Structure 1
């Protein structure tokens, strides 16, 4: 993955991680937070967190640690992808494939774009037919990867 793609992902992950830490420390005072804003190494990320973000995630996590060893799961993108259809869903699916390092299984994709199995299969079929993805293997050994991963 090119550094130009990686930097914004890391910055967004850091900003969301800071929001998670703030939500987990309800005993911290605004003075504690302001001290970190100006003197802490996470100050730039902390300055971008909104009050709405702190209150808007009652389930607890905007990012989730996956069970598959892959990168953090962006729950906001997951929820948007679940509601997407057709070409819009395919765009989310392709982005996840393009961000993945190497070949991935269907369970990896489902954890990041959600939806029923038929929706994932149809999206993957469209991407393969369009020359944007490749399928390898059969049944439980099936893996997918993005082709032309430089395209967003």
Structure 2
């Protein structure tokens, strides 16, 4: 198995590249098997962050999502145009706007989470108990190392 060899010898650039490639493919597989969402990964991620940290300024959102301000501006415009978020005045700074999810945005992400979680659960169900624990622990450790928790 390719992933086991990566885990056993992780540290060389080729192994890290392989791990990155596998993580990207896993993410893509979960997205593509959940058709009908019509949101790119970046837009969906921004919407998830807005839902979980609202109200939030665009600059804070860009920082959390690790993208530039112009990129985040384009993402926010898509979300506003589709009715998934709304901009409201920041009571602490009249020049700034806060981003808040709409009911449609919350519903979209909740539905996507459910479908993608089901796909992930089905894949994990095919593993034995020890492998499920190993996958869960490994993903948690990696997320913590990347400062995602």
Normalising by structure 1, what TM-score? 0.40
Normalising by structure 2, what TM-score? 0.41
Higher helix share: 2
